[in-house]
Amino acid sequence: MERPFKLSLGLSSALTCIPPFFDLMSLLTRASHYSRWCAHHLAAPRVAIIGEYHGANLGDHLLGTAVSGYFREQNLQSVRLTLHSLARWRRFPDADVVVGGGNVLNDHSLRLLHTYFKGHRKSAYCMGVDFSDPEVLNRHRDVLDQFALVTFRSEAQRALAAEVLGPSWHDRLGCHPDLAWLHQTRVRQSFPGWQPRRRIALNILPLYLRENGSSFCCAYDEGHHFHNQARRETTAYLQIVEKTVRHYLSKGYEVVHLPFAVEDAAFASQWLRPMGVRCMKYTLGLKSVLGTLSSCEAFIATRFHALVLGLMTGMPIRPIPYARKNSDLLAELGQQTWASQTPRSFCEDASPLTELLCEADAVRMPQAVSADFDAAIKQWMVKVAP
């Protein structure tokens, strides 16, 4: 049995992880699901949007609402179906399918899609996805053959898929920025003017940790080949966050944590609050999140969609590139110094990233570049809904 992960930062080894609002969020999420489930039985949509739109992750929620908003602008009725519970949703064999965003090219998701596609009579598209395991594509060629188009978040991912799938897929593969950039206009209109106080926004996640009752433990069992490396990277990440937080607090800043997933809020409330960090409750309310960001000098963002949303506002961002998708985006924006600070590099030496987070010029995205990202996505989306 894996024991709770012991943080080597002088902190408690057992992190209680269920804050009071968790049960309320679960209730509201279930109510939302039931409402959508009822509505679907009355719907005759043109497009069925499939993804992890279950309410527990703000980034996934942004993806789902971005795609459904795009189709609404095209006067096309759409419905959103939650991927992990796809078997419980009504099937729409006469609706085009858009599998949108995030980590959907994995064994479990592709098996669910294989079942959904039985008897499907319209086109299917897989848009803006992450991809890293070539063997997944080989194992699920029958599912991939259902897609008229598959697009990725980066050119590197597209090139890897093209190498695996071969020349016959050349015209069916593409890449574009993350689908959440379709929110660009809404974000700029909703961002209530940047009026910073002496305040820093922060987003952290329980990197390589999973909930284990009332504590967090390493997500990889002791026998797993990645177990030791995961523990090293987790410890390095938490050391960087703690040093950065204490730096800003010592300079007289208020530090505010913005969770982008339920587990972010649970982890932060137990770990960051004792340091003096103000921990916000998890919410799917975009206006609430933007309102908090508008009062902060900069945003230290770990999660990918925390980075994306922060960049869309145009405010200064100090990213923690915990995943390849974050690094790819930063590299595309010409931020190679930030992009190079990967988990393996800061595990070896945490000081360069800590110094960047505390002292370096922040990343800012001009509105014109963000608008270009939005336009680049729509060039691909028009292939779905011409």
State yes or no: pLDDT of 23 exceeds 60. Answer: no
Residue whose tokens read 């949108």 = 100
Residues 30-45, mean pLDDT to the nearest whole number: 67
State yes or no: pLDDT of 54 exceeds 90. Answer: no
pLDDT, residue 243, reads 97
The fraction of the chain above a pLDDT of 70, given in percent, is 89
CATH 3.40.50 fits 43-175, yes or no: yes
Give residue limits of the domains in the chain: 43-175, 189-368
State yes or no: pLDDT of 32 exceeds 70. Answer: no
Q: Which of 21-25, 80-84, 116-120, 281-285 has the lowest mean pLDDT?
A: 21-25
pLDDT, residue 53, reads 81
Structure confidence at residue 39 as a pLDDT band (50, 70, 90): low
pLDDT, residue 90, reads 87
Structure confidence at residue 100 as a pLDDT band (50, 70, 90): confident
Structure confidence at residue 101 as a pLDDT band (50, 70, 90): confident
pLDDT, residue 5, reads 45
Residue whose tokens read 């005759």 = 44
The fraction of the chain above a pLDDT of 90, given in percent, is 74
**Rounded distance between C-alpha atoms, residue 238 and residue 222, angstroms:** 20
**Rounded distance between C-alpha atoms, residue 172 and residue 162, angstroms:** 9
Structure confidence at residue 31 as a pLDDT band (50, 70, 90): low
- Long-range pairs for 274-282 at CB < 8 Å and ≥24 separation? 275/242, 275/245, 275/246, 275/249, 276/249, 277/202, 277/245, 277/249, 278/254, 280/256, 281/19, 281/21, 282/21, 282/25, 282/58
Write down the pTM of the prediction.
0.89
Higher pLDDT, 305 or 56: 305
State yes or no: pLDDT of 7 exceeds 60. Answer: no
Q: Tens digits of per-residue pLDDT, 226-285?
A: 999 999 999 999 999 999 999 999 999 999 999 999 999 999 998 999 999 999 999 999
Residue whose tokens read 């505390």 = 358
Which CATH number is 189-368 given? Answer: 3.40.50
Higher pLDDT, 6 or 176: 176
Residues 64-71, mean pLDDT to the nearest whole number: 94
Residues 71-86, mean pLDDT to the nearest whole number: 93
Mean pLDDT for the chain overall: 89
Q: Can you read off the two tokens belonging to residue 374?
A: 């939005």
Structure confidence at residue 15 as a pLDDT band (50, 70, 90): very low
State yes or no: pLDDT of 183 exceeds 80. Answer: yes
**Using DSSP, how many helices (H) and how many strands (E) does the chain show?**
16, 13
> Closest Cα to residue 357, out of 199, 201, 244, 200?
244
> Closest Cα to residue 153, out of 184, 124, 179?
179
Residues 200-208, mean pLDDT to the nearest whole number: 97
* Cβ proximity of 251 and 197 under 8 Å: no
Chain centroid, CA 242 distance in Å: 23
Residues 179-187, mean pLDDT to the nearest whole number: 93
255 DSSP β-pair partners: 200
* Cβ proximity of 365 and 307 under 8 Å: no
pLDDT, residue 102, reads 82
pLDDT, residue 44, reads 82
Higher pLDDT, 342 or 12: 342
* DSSP label of 171: G
Structure confidence at residue 27 as a pLDDT band (50, 70, 90): low
254 DSSP β-pair partners: 199
**Rounded distance between C-alpha atoms, residue 85 and residue 28, angstroms:** 17
pLDDT, residue 29, reads 59
pLDDT, residue 24, reads 57
